[in-house]
Structure 1
Amino acid sequence: MIRVLLADDHPVVRSGYLRLLDQAGDIRVVDEAGDADAAYAAFSSARPDVLVTDLSMPGGGGLELIRRVLAREPQARVLVFTMHDGPLLVRRAFEAGARGYLTKASPPEGLVDAVRSLHAGRRYLDPDLPSNLLHRDPLDEAARLAALSGREFEVFRLLAQGQSPRECAEALKLSAKTVSNHQTVIKDKLGVTTSAALVHLAMRHGVISTAGA
């Protein structure tokens, strides 16, 4: 049985999707939440196999919820289920750590398929969205990495290992302000907006191991 946590700020919407998922036979909604804080608390206690969340919610929103959940459980399977289909938002959701993205304009069976895909360890993208939103071009990323200066690359590596800007400053004997400036430039050059996306990029290119070493 696939255990699902459903997060959406509209009770009527949650009720409809709860019935849809429960009728699938192999899926059970173990908890539901109407805002990001409640969803995080429910995730921490229920430990679902898949978290299905909207992006527009009180309490920080869906993207912040994804980041908090992934910080607690790096292997968490999060499916974004939302009315928004803008390419930038889709990319940001995946950068935050989501493993699937589905719009509410999709057929009802799409939600069931997406939950099953994530539970099986596969990523999922709404069939009506461009497939290139699911992956970044590794050659483009390699070129961006090559554009970092030696000092920027060292700061990037330390940040990707989980060190704070203050710890980076101490290790490299730089001021905290200098490291903060480097961090801003690095994210801009690499085309990432979050620390999680920076870590994932470093892992993809072998800058750090999957264990963060």
Structure 2
Amino acid sequence: MTAIRILLVDDHAIVREGYRALLAKQPDLAVIAEAGNTVQAYRQFKNLQPDLVITDISLPGGSGLELIARIKQHTESAAILVFSMHQNPGFALRALRAGALGYVTKSSEPEVLLHAIRDVYAGRHVLSADIAQILALEKLGGQQLALESLTLREFEILRLLVAGKSHADIAGILNISAKTACNCHYLIKRKLGANSDIELTKLAIKLHVLELLA
């Protein structure tokens, strides 16, 4: 198996050490370089051409947003995942518009980061559930109450259900049991007033659940 070669960018050495240890446990992931600021990060990217860049937004020597833009100018196909403490959806939107494929907050579970890395490497957009829910709520206007009734876990399960994932798929992605996924599916329908999966899908479309990256 060829491991995904990762450049890890964060201005805190202790933070990098922790995430490097997490990624080292994954046989398909390999941190080949680290950087603590935008100048180092861009130089490492040009020299090593990693498969994926994980970067924070707040960095010395310029913001992570500037780094993303520079990297994309150099290599348009570069895969970039933002991993940040900022839960402001404005940061997420700016990062995506700059060229990042994903945005995950540091309050997320480790499994969320690991899945996001593989999704971004595969060319898929990804948002952690907290950011995705905030973005969805901002688009709803007067329809906010329906989604506000869902917990973050339920909201993430709703997104996966509407994306066509089975209970078994959801269980694997979120590290829960298939029974828990099934029970949450039922609770989601009850909270949103959907009598069937067809109604649930129509409601999700109406609430822009699948249009968060548009």
**TM-score, scaled relative to structure 2:** 0.61
In the other structure, the counterpart of 2:104 is: 102
SS across alignment from 1:116: helix
State the distance in 2 between where 1:4 and 1:131 align: 28
State the distance in 2 between where 1:64 and 1:16 align: 25
Does the aligned pair in 1 maintain the 2:87–2:130 contact within 8 Å? no
Does the aligned pair in 2 maintain the 1:90–1:133 contact within 8 Å? no
Deviation at 1:132, TM superposition (A): 8.2
Aligned amino acid, residue 116 of structure 2: A
In the other structure, the counterpart of 1:17 is: 19
For residues 40-88 of structure 1, give each alpha carbon's deviation from its aligned partner in whole angstroms, at most 9, with x where no partner exists: 0001111111100000000111000000000000111100000001111
**TM-score, scaled relative to structure 1:** 0.61
SS across alignment from 1:18: helix
Deviation at 1:133, TM superposition (A): 4.3
The runs of at least 4 aligned residues of structure 1 exceeding 6 Å deviation read none
Q: How many residues align?
A: 136
In the other structure, the counterpart of 2:120 is: 118
In the other structure, the counterpart of 1:3 is: 5
In the other structure, the counterpart of 1:36 is: 38
In the other structure, the counterpart of 1:83 is: 85
For residues 163-206 of structure 1, give each alpha carbon's deviation from its aligned partner in whole angstroms, at most 9, with x where no partner exists: xxxxxxxxxxxxxxxxxxxxxxxxxxxxxxxxxxxxxxxxx9xx
Deviation at 1:119, TM superposition (A): 1.0
- Tell me how large the CA RMSD over aligned residues is: 1.7
State the distance in 1 between where 2:80 and 2:108 align: 18
Point out where structure 1 has 5 or more consecutive residues left out of the alignment.
Answer: 138-203, 205-213
In the other structure, the counterpart of 1:70 is: 72
SS across alignment from 2:130: coil
Does the aligned pair in 1 maintain the 2:87–2:131 contact within 8 Å? yes
